[in-house]
Every structure is written in structure tokens, then in C-alpha cells.
Amino acid sequence: MPSADAIFPAGFVWGAATAAYQIEGAHDEDGRGPSIWDTFSHTPGKVANGDTGDVACDHYHRYPEDIALMRELGLGAYRFSIAWPRIFPTGMGRPNPAGIDFYRRLVDALRAAGIEPYVTLYHWDLPQALQDQGGWANRDTVHRFGEYAHTVAVALGAVVHNWITHNEPWVAAFLGHLTGDHAPGARDLRTALQVSHHLLLSHAEATEAIRAEAAVGDRVGITLNLSPVEPAGDTNADAEAAHRHDGYLNRWFLDPLFRGSYPDDMLRWYGDAAPTVQGGDLARINSPIDFLGVNYYFRSVVRHDAASGPLQVAQVQPAGRPYTDMGWEVYPGGLYALLTRLHRDYAPAALSITENGAAFADQVVDGAVVDAERQSYLHDHLLACYRAVEEGVPLQGYFAWSLLDNFEWAYGYAKRFGLIHVDYATQRRTVKQSGRWYAEVTRENGVRG
């Protein structure tokens, strides 16, 4: 069956995304202080193969070359994050001018290339000095984040018009403080829940700080990792497990942001582990945002399992389905289901896909990377976006994760998500077949055929 064109509305934003610790390297240059990810990655046993972000893609030095590659892909926008410890090496005190200067050069070079910067303020690299004071479990960190946001908004507000306060607070809270898979490696439900509240509160504080400096038309949002949840079986226990997992992953963040309350069923489930919330916190968290950033990779299929952690939920991997190199199911229908559900249940003013993509075990052969699976993954997820747009979902942009192969957190450099291959021994970049295909998408404003 020949498929129809999927040409997006005029003005649709085509981009790619990265994050500071995953690509920059230059971990001790120009006054940068250590972050919790420096500490974590240098702790034996925490990251696959002992990999660290010390050098990564050396983007700190190679950003002009990387911007030239963005132009080759025809990107209209580039989402990157600012390393807090470059701006505040100890998390407080005076800002580091050399840190600010790097991001000003980066933004100026992007603008000169006609590429709109989308800036994430927190992509998991908390200054280690703040972790030493309790990190995100300490309410003071919320104010430190507000000061950091204020400083960056003053420094870059004239040239940055799209701000994302946090990336995936669920991952920062729960992988960082419940499972211990991410920095700082804590393992305690109550801590994870308190951290999640402080992350949301700091989103509110940063939003207020940016708005105080912003011009008309500037936009502030937050990016969540979201996943539609389905029960594995048709029992009540599985249906309840699915609702609970949806509460844990999705509603725990969406309800406070869009309704001003934590979900009752989850507060009851967490009981004594529920976070301390002060009067006024939820009203601030519920302040309007200009867009919701959605990171989508896979759906979640779950069953009830009394022995499985504090949620009593176990993940199921449906048989006979395609999986990526991360072990994540390829399920584009989940992106359509997610977007239409968000529009129906929460009605954000606008949405952007701030990450979507897939890891596969790419290889350079005769100077080329033939990554047909990634191209097909991206193609099918773009069609899911298109269907949602056709049904009235106010989706305004799509950012592929990632521009470059990079440091994939606990997996180190073993997992490759890039549109562009990086040979870490030489820092040579090779645009993959999927990257060349994405250049056609950005040029055509969608997918033909």
C-alpha cells in the first residue's frame, strides 16, 4: 500500500537534542566545577566500561564543526543544556564568566547559522558542592536553582527565546534516588519523592526568574519523559498495576503541573513516604507554562507483582515485537496515544517532542553508517506525530535524540543514539544514513510517500 505524504503545518520546528554532560567533555576547563555525574562516573562499577564524560564528544572545543553539521541536516532548532557547574562551579556565590562566555559563543554561532537555540537549564549535572549539602533532597537547592536560572536569563535572555527548566524529572528523582542507577546513586523511596517535589518546585522558581527577565513571545516549558502504560493481562490486578505505574511515571508530574495537586491514589499508595509539601508550593507549580516538552521512547506494558519494588509493578516485554539496542520496544502507536491523551486530559497550550530516537549498534563501513532501523523508527514516529497534529493536538516541534552519539549515562558510550556517528578515538563525525534522511525531512517539512 503506498503511503500518503505527511507534510507538517508551516512553521513546524525541526530540531535535534543533546545534553551538556553527554557531549561537552572539557570537564575541568575554564573553571568548571565537578557535578554529581563526574563523581558518579568516576566511581567504579557505576557506569558500563568505566566510561566518564571527561572528554565525551569534545563538543566544548568542536562546537563550530558540530554547528556546521547541524546546517547540513537543515536543523531549524537545536536543544542543548547548560552545565550548571560551568556557571556556578560550587553551586552558589559569583557566576563564572568563562562558563557564561562559552554558552554565549555557542548561541551566537547557532544564531549566525540560522538555528534557534532551545536551552535546558537542568539535565542532571548538579554541582557536587550542592550534593554535599543534601542535593535535591534539600529545599535550599530549589533557591540555588532559581538564582542560577536568574543568572542565565540575564546573561542570555536577549538571544535565547525558548527555555526548558528541567529534563525528565522522573529520571532525576527515581533513577537517581530510588533505583540508584543514576547519580547521586541513592536508594530510598521517601528521598526520591521529596526530590521529585523539589524538582517541580524549582521548575516553578526558575520559571518565575526567567519570566522576570523575558521579552514578549519568549517561552518557558518543562520536559517530561512520558510513556503510555498498558496492562499485560486482563485481570483487575494488572489493570490496577497499570494505573499505578501511570501514576508513578506520568500523573505524578502532570497532575501538579496542570492541576495543582498530586494524584490522591498515589499519595495513599506512598503513605509515610509521601513528600513534605509546603502551603503555596502546588499553586506555584501549577502556574501556566508555554509548552510541554515530551520525551517519548517506548510504551510500558506492566503486570502486578507483589515482590517487585515499592510499586508492586513488573515490566513485561511483549513477545514478537521489535526492540532497540536499549531493549526498548519500538512502538510508534504509543506516541500517538500519548499525545492525544495529553491533549484530552491536560490540554497544554502547546507541545513539542523534545526527544525521540533509538539506539542501535551502528558501524562505519567504507565510510558510511547504514542505520535503516533508526531511519524506520524515526519515520514511523513522525507519522504518529502527524496523525496527532491532524486531530488537533497543538504539537509545534520535533527534536531527534540525538544529534551525536554520546555518553548514554549508566550505559556509557556503548549505546549510540546519534544521527551522526562519533568515533571516540579520533573524534571523527560521520553523518549516518538516518541523518541524511532527516535532512530531507527538515527540507520537505515532513515525510513524502
Contact residues toward ligand JJW (CB under 6 A) are: 19, 22, 167-168, 171, 225, 295, 297, 315, 355, 401, 408-409
> Please, which residues bridge with residue 14 across strands?
398
Whose cell is 506525530? That residue is 385
| Minimum gap (Å) between residue 21 Cβ and ligand JJW | 8
Q: Is the CB of residue 335 less than 8 Å from the CB of residue 378?
A: no
Whose cell is 543568572? That residue is 151
| Minimum gap (Å) between residue 46 Cβ and ligand JJW | 15
CA angle (276, 279, 281) in 5-degree steps:
75
Closer by beta carbon to ligand JJW, 258 or else 298: 298
How far is Cα 401 from Cα 374, in angstroms, rounded to an integer?
Answer: 11
How far is Cα 432 from Cα 419, in angstroms, rounded to an integer?
Answer: 6
Q: Is the CB of residue 402 less than 8 Å from the CB of residue 417?
A: yes
Nearest CA among 76, 100, 78, 74 for reference residue 87: 100
| Minimum gap (Å) between residue 317 Cβ and ligand JJW | 11
Q: Is the CB of residue 310 less than 8 Å from the CB of residue 301?
A: no
Closer by beta carbon to ligand JJW, 128 or else 295: 295
How far is Cα 49 from Cα 108, in angstroms, rounded to an integer?
Answer: 36
Closer by beta carbon to ligand JJW, 159 or else 316: 316
Closer by beta carbon to ligand JJW, 145 or else 401: 401
On the 0-12 / 13-18 / 19+ scale of CB atoms within 10 A, 336 is: buried
Closer by beta carbon to ligand JJW, 154 or else 237: 237
Q: CA–CA distance from 280 to each of 58, 148, 199, 210 (Å)?
A: 43, 22, 15, 20
How far is Cα 382 from Cα 447, in angstroms, rounded to an integer?
Answer: 8
| Minimum gap (Å) between residue 351 Cβ and ligand JJW | 17
Closer by beta carbon to ligand JJW, 19 or else 69: 19
| Minimum gap (Å) between residue 214 Cβ and ligand JJW | 25
| Minimum gap (Å) between residue 355 Cβ and ligand JJW | 6
Closer by beta carbon to ligand JJW, 337 or else 368: 337
Closer by beta carbon to ligand JJW, 172 or else 369: 172
| Minimum gap (Å) between residue 22 Cβ and ligand JJW | 6
Q: Which residues are designated catalytic?
A: 168, 355
Q: Is the dihedral of CA 316, 321, 326, 328 positive or negative?
A: negative
CA 63 centroid distance within chain: 20
| Minimum gap (Å) between residue 110 Cβ and ligand JJW | 20
